[in-house]
Amino acid sequence: MKLLKTNIPDVVIIEPTVFEDERGWFMERFNEKRFYDELKKLHLPIPASFVQDNHSYSKKGVLRGLHYQRRPFAQGKLVQVVQGSAFDVAVDIRPESNTYGKWVGVELNEYNKRMLWIPEGFAHGFLAIEDTHFLYKTTNYYNKNVEDGIRWDDPDLAIEWPTFPTSINRKDKAFIFFKELDSSQADIELPIKKQEKLDILAAKHTNFKNDINPKISSENIETDKCGESQRLQSTLSGQQKNSSELVHLIAIGDNRGSLVSLESKKNIPFDIQRIYYIFATQAGISRGFHAHRELKQLLICVAGSCQIHLDDGKNKQHVLLNDPTQGLYLNQMIWREMHDFSADCVLMVLANQHYNENDYIRNYDEFIRIINE
């Protein structure tokens, strides 16, 4: 397996190793360890595990896209063609990215056997050059309530499709143009390294339903620093009792490195009463398996990575923490489990109360009973 960078560094072409002889050929379609190792060599982030495989068939001339899902249901996609040929396109819709609004186009076909890795934060589409079977793996489940898209023929993107499509469905034709794309609508996370504005891009995930809160704009906060706490509290106060959200934290720095400052009721939506961190977790060990009656927390993976599984009693969500400028806010009555700790993981937890065993719900059946009361 060999990974090739495109003109958007986060999007990579994967060339598999193919073994051929007189009988035919053999190749590994996917190997997670090799994929992760190759991403590390290119200094690219490791994505969440793939949770869904999709297979579509498109007749020659069919165009699908440009599609994406809003956070916290954004999808990374590993795409490939097993029969036929397609021109595959990824468009960067991450507002803070240096390649925002740029696109990559790659031909995938049954002969070159190439795959394309498209991380979260991109709109995706393809044009079937001939009758085509298209496979793709995703890092999050399909959710029709948060799917969205951009016009395939957007004049600002100016994608150079190899031929004019002969078939596009009604929904894809009705997508907005790129200039109408509100960054809070795309709401895709991007690691912030040297940013001097406080830009809080919440996951807008209220009670594990699909309510999208307004974005707190960096421009408004920059011009009125004294109102930071009031605006943050106002946004969070609109949530239901049971909620979680991903919050970007300001990072400032220079050539020596970066710094993140954590302040109660500014970028931390509560008074901090307790801080602890989890580290040196042994391989194969999972933690958590509880909920809190009243406690509120913010989880930050300051090194390494881990998977957080959340459950409000009705819906479940998986969150990958691997960025020290990203915090996972947990309100009360959310069942949480922590899995897949990397060897170097350091998970810091900020809480609004001191330790109180009576606040814990350690039995899942009891948690469900309380939720349903």
List pLDDT tens digits, range 275-315.
Answer: 999 999 988 888 999 999 999 999 999 999 999 999 998 88
CA nearest to 93, candidates 185, 205, 228:
185
CA distances to 129, 131, 149, 164, 333 from 59, in Å: 8, 4, 21, 14, 48
Interior angle at CA 45, CA 218 and CA 216, nearest 5: 15
If one compares 325 and 233, the residue with the highest pLDDT of the two is 325
Calculate the dihedral angle through the C-alpha atoms of 329, 36, 42, 27, rounding to the nearest 10 degrees.
-150
Q: What are 275's strand-pairing partners?
A: 350
Mean of the per-residue pLDDT values of the chain: 82
pLDDT at residue 182, rounded to an integer: 65
Of the residues 36, 55, 124, 136, only one is catalytic, namely 136
Instruction: Write out pLDDT tens, residues 128-155.
Output: 999 999 999 999 999 888 899 999 999 9
The full set of domains in the chain, from first to last, is 2-184 (2.60.120.10), 191-372 (2.60.120.10)
Per-residue pLDDT averaged across 38-66, rounded?
Answer: 92
Inter-residue contact 252 to 195 (CB < 8 Å)? yes
Per-residue pLDDT averaged across 81-93, rounded?
Answer: 96
Element (H, E) at 126: strand 122-128
CA nearest to 295, candidates 323, 272, 327, 319:
272
pLDDT at residue 223, rounded to an integer: 34
The alpha-carbon radius of gyration of the chain (Å, integer) is 22
User: For residue 152, what is the DSSP state?
Assistant: T
Which sign does the torsion angle of CA 93, 96, 101, 106 carry? negative
pLDDT at residue 2, rounded to an integer: 87
Residue 242 pLDDT grade (very low, low, confident, very high; cuts 50, 70, 90): very low
CA nearest to 129, candidates 111, 113, 109:
109
Of the residues 36, 43, 57, 67, only one is catalytic, namely 67
Asked about 67 being catalytic, the answer comes back as: yes
Paired tokens of 249: 């934290």
Q: Is the pLDDT of residue 207 over 50?
A: no
Tell me which residue has tokens 């190793």. Answer: 17
CA distances to 8, 185, 188, 299 from 247, in Å: 25, 15, 11, 10
Interior angle at CA 231, CA 229 and CA 234, nearest 5: 105
Per-residue pLDDT averaged across 31-56, rounded?
Answer: 90
Inter-residue contact 71 to 319 (CB < 8 Å)? no
Paired tokens of 365: 């059946």
pTM of the model: 0.53
